[in-house]
Structure 1
Amino acid sequence: MPRRTFWKGYLKLSLVTCPVTMTPATTESERVRFHTLNRQTGNRVMSQYVDAVSGKAVKEEDEVKGYPRGEDDFVILEDEELDALALESTRTIDIETFVPRAEIGWLWYDKPHYLAPDDKIGEEAFGVIREAMAATGTVGIARLVLYRREHAVMLEPRGKGIVVWTLRGGEEVRAEKDYFGGLGKARPDAKLLKLVTTLIDERTKDWDEKMVDDPVQDRLVEIIEMKKKGKKPARKKAEVADEAPAGNVISIMDALKRSIAAEKKR
């Protein structure tokens, strides 16, 4: 299947430039999607913006973006004004800085994209930049306009290519000290720690993509195929969830020992 191009431009490091293409690394196109229908007619239901006061439909050309500055008071921003904010970085990924790979926590990662050279001539320059980052354990930081806004992006070498991650802004990542700061600093009991480590060892496996399969998605596909054939899908009995324990009846030590014994039997 031919590779679909989402973005074309240039990768630049100082005076070294090469043409590149970029494609989102993830997709939701395989997910089961539904349309909302009118049960009476079977026709699709269409959504439409309406004026909050008059209740009348708003034409597409009359829709504008507004930033609230008070109750029922907005600063209106036209599309041309938004598009003109960061035009310089729309077609060039200019690597400004390099950062040790381990210093950027995964909380900052937003959307991944595959970056590849666009022609044979550019492969050498692309490969040199990629291998140099891999050898030094660094990632590149640049800025780029994607999805109608400018993002900080991280370039990470991966195999024969580079993964470009859009990064979340500082205002999007909450400070962990606000949530973990009040937790106790005491270290857990050494015996308990050893038992949990044993339990982890028993459950450790190599990564497999099947670990993130969605059984609900698979069941939906089965139901849809049966209904296409005019068959009525069998209803599964709802499983009763285990009741939460009323209190800490069993000690953590006993619970861990029983868990390890169960793992060995399994």
Structure 2
Amino acid sequence: MAVRPYWRGYLKLSLVTCAVTLSPATSEGGKVRFHTLNRKTGDRIRTRYIDSSSEKIVDDDDQAKAYAMGEDDYVILEEEDLDSVQLESARTIDIDEFVETDTIEWVYFDSPYFVVPADEVGEEAFTVIREAMAQSNVVGVSRLVLGNRERAVMLQPWDTGIILWTLRFGDEVRDEDEYWEKVDDEKVDKKMLSMVEQLIEERTTAWSDAMVKDPVQDRLKEIIRAKAKPSKKAKPKQPAADEEESSSNVIDLMAALKKSLEGKPETTKRSRR
């Protein structure tokens, strides 16, 4: 079932404009969420802002955003200061730049949203923008205010719609060279390379969302259901013997690869992509 739109506004490319809606492409509705209770009373615990010196509760009107210049040295920013740096329009996705598809590294991707026309009047303009990007093999780059925060966004043609990805800013992405330089760039043994390639070939199959199921959530729900029925006490599921991690350490990489290839799969070879 489609969820209610998270955002309503306009998609604009030069003089072409259409009304659109944004809906989250992912959901956390199935996750187990916890509340913090007072164990003695069973009542929920509320969080409040407390002054670190007086230890008194601070009213909403007295709370202010501040930037730390140093220890116990802050610059307070008023609402008008924050408003002055916001986009002129918080309701328009104005595409002012395009880049070739697949040139934005995945590490910049944050959260995806479905973009669709908000009404029949805007469908033609929406379709023209989407098809033009698809045929030109480009994605659009723009800015948008979501959750009171200005975000860089990427618009990607996808099927009959558009996927909008919020993007991390450049200073939020670490330089990979700082980490890769720690990895020795040595030539690999051709025989071992061939053996690993054989292992990969045997395990290559078609993608399925079953590969990314969350077993922890399922087990938590089982425990919650069991605790909700005191008459039926259920013991936590114990891992099967063959699921337990082996305590033996294989030091020889070649021996480990040979051992991996010796074991023949019990089932038929999975379908390849």
Q: CA deviation at 1:197?
A: 0.9
Instruction: Give the unaligned 5+ runs of structure 1.
Output: none
Q: CA deviation at 1:241?
A: 4.1
Question: Aligned residues: percent identity?
Answer: 51
- Which residue number in structure 2 is paired with residue 262 of structure 1? 263
- Which residue number in structure 1 is paired with residue 121 of structure 2? 121
- Which residue number in structure 1 is paired with residue 44 of structure 2? 44
Instruction: Give the unaligned 5+ runs of structure 2.
Output: 268-273
Q: 1:242 aligns with which of 246, 259, 262?
A: 246
Change (3 A) 1:263 1:9: farther
Change (3 A) 1:188 1:265: farther
Amino acid at match of 2:64: V
* TM-score of the pair, normalised by structure 2: 0.90
Alignment of 1:107-118 (within 5 A): 107-118=107-118
* TM-score of the pair, normalised by structure 1: 0.92
Residue 159 of structure 2 is aligned to residue 133 of structure 1: no
Q: Distance in 1 between matches of 2:264 and 2:128?
A: 48
Q: Distance in 2 between matches of 1:2 and 1:207?
A: 24
- Which residue number in structure 1 is paired with residue 87 of structure 2? 87
Amino acid at match of 1:242: S
Q: Distance in 1 between matches of 2:115 and 2:127?
A: 12
Contact 1:141 1:154 in 2 (8 A): yes
- Which residue number in structure 2 is paired with residue 7 of structure 1? 7
Alignment of 1:151-190 (within 5 A): 151-190=151-190
Change (3 A) 1:222 1:78: same
The farther-off stretch of 194-203 and 224-233 is 224-233
Amino acid at match of 2:199: L
Contact 1:89 1:143 in 2 (8 A): no
The farther-off stretch of 115-124 and 187-196 is 187-196
- Which residue number in structure 1 is paired with residue 142 of structure 2? 142
- Which residue number in structure 2 is paired with residue 233 of structure 1? 234
Contact 1:5 1:23 in 2 (8 A): yes
Q: CA deviation at 1:263?
A: 4.6
Q: CA deviation at 1:157?
A: 1.0
SS state of the match for residue 172, structure 2?
coil
Amino acid at match of 1:180: W
Residue 19 of structure 2 is aligned to residue 19 of structure 1: yes
SS state of the match for residue 211, structure 1?
helix
Amino acid at match of 2:247: E
The farther-off stretch of 81-90 and 41-50 is 81-90
Q: CA deviation at 1:193?
A: 1.2
- Which residue number in structure 2 is paired with residue 75 of structure 1? 75
Q: Distance in 2 between matches of 1:3 and 1:35?
A: 25
Contact 1:100 1:137 in 2 (8 A): yes
Q: CA deviation at 1:20?
A: 0.4
**Corresponding pairs, count:** 263
Q: Distance in 1 between matches of 2:160 and 2:264?
A: 40
How far does the alpha carbon of each residue in 1:189-224 deviate from its partner, in whole angstroms, 9 at most, with x for none? Answer: 222111111101111111111111111111111222
Amino acid at match of 1:43: D
Contact 2:223 2:236 in 1 (8 A): no
How far does the alpha carbon of each residue in 1:111-165 deviate from its partner, in whole angstroms, 9 at most, with x for none? Answer: 1111101111211111111122222221100111112121111001111111111
